[in-house]
Amino acid sequence: MIRMNEKHAQNLESIVAERGAMLVEAQEQTDRLLCEILPPSIAQKLKTGEVIEPRSYEAATVLFCQLVDFMFILTNTKPDQVVTFLNDVFTMFDQIISRHDAYKVETTGETYM
C-alpha cells in the first residue's frame, strides 16, 4: 500500500511539474503577444495592475504603408510565397522602427502602420 501511495505521489509530482512548465510557457507567450500589441512600457504597467494615465504629444507622425498591386501578387503567387514576401517586407519595417522611438500598430493583410 505504501509503494502504491509513493508511486501515485511521484506521478502527481510529475503532472504538477509538467503543468507548471506549461503555465510558464503560456505566460511567456502572453507577455510576448502583449508587448507586440502594446508598447512594452504600457504592457508592463498592465501586468502590474498600475493605472495607465492618458498622454498627449505635441506632434506625432503616422506612417500607413500599403503594398501596390497586392491583389495582383495574391492572384499570381503561391500562398507560401505571399507569406514569405509579407514577412520579409514587414521585418524590414520592424528593423527600421526598432532604431527609432516608434511603435508598430498590429494590422492585417498588406497594410503596415
24 and 70 fall within a common domain? no
DSSP-assigned beta bridge partners for residue 66: 111
End residue of a domain, out of 18, 35, 54: 54
pLDDT at 3 over 80: yes
19 and 31 fall within a common domain? yes
36 and 6 fall within a common domain? yes
Q: Which residues contact 111 (CB under 8 A, 6 or more apart)?
A: 64, 65, 66
Mean pLDDT of 82-86: 90
End residue of a domain, out of 35, 54, 73: 54
Number of domains the chain contains: 2
Output the CA–CA distances (angstroms, integers) from residue 4 to 8, 36, 61, 70, in the order listed. 6, 48, 67, 64
pLDDT at 64: 80
* Residue range 23-80, pLDDT digits in tens: 999 999 988 888 777 878 888 898 899 998 888 888 888 888 888 888 898 899 999 9
* Domain encompassing residue 72: 56-113
71 and 96 fall within a common domain? yes
pLDDT at 84: 93
pLDDT at 65: 81
46 and 77 fall within a common domain? no
pLDDT at 113 over 70: no
Helix residue ranges per DSSP H, the chain: 2-37, 40-48, 70-76, 79-98
pLDDT at 9: 86
pLDDT at 76: 93
